[in-house]
Amino acid sequence: MAALLLRHVGPHFSPQLYVRNAVPLGTTAKEEMERFWNKNIGSNRPVSPHITIYSWSLPMVMSICHHGTGIALSAGVSLFGMLALLLPGVFIFFKHQ
């Protein structure tokens, strides 16, 4: 009985059946990357545009100022905290002088 079952079911579970029907689904990431870089090298394009091609605009200036003030405030608070830790005595003593 087992031999009869294997004779009917066995071919359906053989690896050759799956390998024969296996086909690649598409290109791999490496092939896509190589095609992208070959296209860019062939067209002599830079990786990114130089910063001098941009014209100054109000949002750009506001963003730069916002980042600058954030860095300055962060540095000031950090410096104040470090000085409070490093100064001898307690903070109240320096506050009332």
Tens-digit pLDDT profile for residues 39-69: 888 888 777 777 788 899 999 999 999 999 9
For residues 50 and 84, give the distance between their C-alpha atoms in angstroms, rounded to a whole number. 44
22 band by pLDDT with thresholds 50, 70 and 90: low
Least confident interval from 43-47, 66-70, 72-76, 81-85: 43-47
pLDDT value at 2 more than 70: no
Please report the pLDDT score of residue 95 as a whole number: 72
Q: Decide: pTM greater than 0.85.
A: no
Checking if the pLDDT of 73 tops 90, the result is yes
Report the alpha-carbon distance of residue 88 to residue 97 in Å, rounded.
14
Domain ranges of the chain: 69-97
